[in-house]
Structure 1
Amino acid sequence: MELPTPESIKKRRIKLGLTQASLAEKANVSQPLIARIESGDVDPRLSTLRSILTALDEMERCKVTAKDLMTSPVIAVTSSDTVDNAVKLMEKHGFSQLPVIDGGVPVGSISENSVVQAMGTEDFARVSASQVRALMEESFPAVSPGTDMGTVSHLLETYHAVLVMELGKAVGVITKYDVMRLLNK
């Protein structure tokens, strides 16, 4: 059995997005001990090392990724679809925004906000018949299926949604609602 090095413990902790204090709490040891172990100042007892490794293993198993959060398949419109069609899709699926995808490539997004704003300045029939490209906003950011929840949550602070892309294809969408659903699990 090969024992982990102080560097490998620190690397695993950082990869999981854990602070020394949070790892210490999960392993039932003190934060200063974690700091001393990671710096190589102290050689921990085997039982302490086992507690730390068990905590790291458990956190790796519990790690939530974009693939775990996403809604699939992706419901999208093209830039040449009518706004009326986009609104009907949003109503049907209970979404407040949709990605705009042309030929498999994300080119923008359309939201309830952009439609409502346009209706304040344009005739309803004109807005309804116009193409999505006329009201299109910037595209949602894209992540890979293995992206951690912390990164996705950070993106959702700024954007309506996040696209999950795999091999150049949109395979899922994540919204704030998808992240909040974790509270019910």
Structure 2
Amino acid sequence: MYIPTPAELRAKRILLGLRQADVARKAGISQSMVARIESGTVDPRVSTLRKIVQVLKVAENPSITAGSVMHAPVHAVTPDDAITTAVAIMEEEDVSQLPVIENGFPIGCVSESAIVNTIEQIGIARAHTRKVKDFMESSFPTVPPDADVETVVHLLQQHHAVLVLGGGKVQGVITKHDLITLIG
């Protein structure tokens, strides 16, 4: 393991625009300890040094957050909307699923596959007269805007989409397509 010198730690901290107090708070140590390490007057434990290096790495490579990946506005339906309304929105917005929102809170979702499955069971003629609640699946998971993208990736392995919920309301949505565009 490469062990940075006190001068290298100080230079990196300054380059990243961090104060000693910032590093101390994020590393869970005192500001005076950071100052003593940077001045070379104390030989820190490896665990303490590791904490400081980790804080500097995170500051150097800030994580991508759900809020920076999401797209808005979120097109949604209510449980009492006609299923034909949901289908029209899906066609117009070129999406394969929609959240179902009631009183500002997500309560379920409706997807192309759920619609097709229900049509298979009840027939296409009867499906025209049904409401969204008749086709509804479990709600998409929600994350706060500051959730890291790794959390979103994990959730998208099991779900069609992830809703970004902040201030008690849906602020945006993230789909698998939104994540793969980060590669390009």
TM-score normalised to structure 1 length: 0.71
Deviation at 1:155, TM superposition (A): 0.7
> Any conservation in 1 of the 2:78–2:132 contact (CA below 8 Å)?
yes
TM-score normalised to structure 2 length: 0.72
Q: Which is worse superposed, 116-125 or 159-168?
A: 116-125
2:75 is the alignment partner of 1:56: no
Amino acid in structure 2 at the alignment position of 1:64: I
Aligned to 2:87: 87
Deviation at 1:121, TM superposition (A): 1.8
Aligned to 2:31: none
> Per the alignment, do residues 2 and 86 of structure 1 end up closer, same or farther by CA in structure 2, a change over 3 Å counting?
closer
Aligned to 2:27: 8
Deviation at 1:120, TM superposition (A): 1.2
Aligned to 2:181: 181
Distance 2:77 2:131 in 1: 10
Segments of 5+ residues of structure 2 without an aligned counterpart are: 1-18, 29-43
Aligned to 2:116: 116
RMSD of equivalent CA atoms: 2.6
Deviation at 1:71, TM superposition (A): 1.2
Distance 1:120 1:172 in 2: 32
May I ask how many residue pairs the two structures share in their alignment? 149
Aligned to 1:135: 135
Deviation at 1:53, TM superposition (A): 6.3
> Per the alignment, do residues 127 and 70 of structure 1 end up closer, same or farther by CA in structure 2, a change over 3 Å counting?
same
Amino acid in structure 1 at the alignment position of 2:109: S
Segments of 5+ residues of structure 1 without an aligned counterpart are: 10-35
Distance 1:105 1:2 in 2: 42
Deviation at 1:37, TM superposition (A): 6.3
Identity of aligned residues (%): 39
Aligned to 1:75: 75
SS for the counterpart of 2:177 is: helix
1:97-129 CA distances to partner (integer Å, 9 max, x unpaired)? 100001112111000000011111222121122
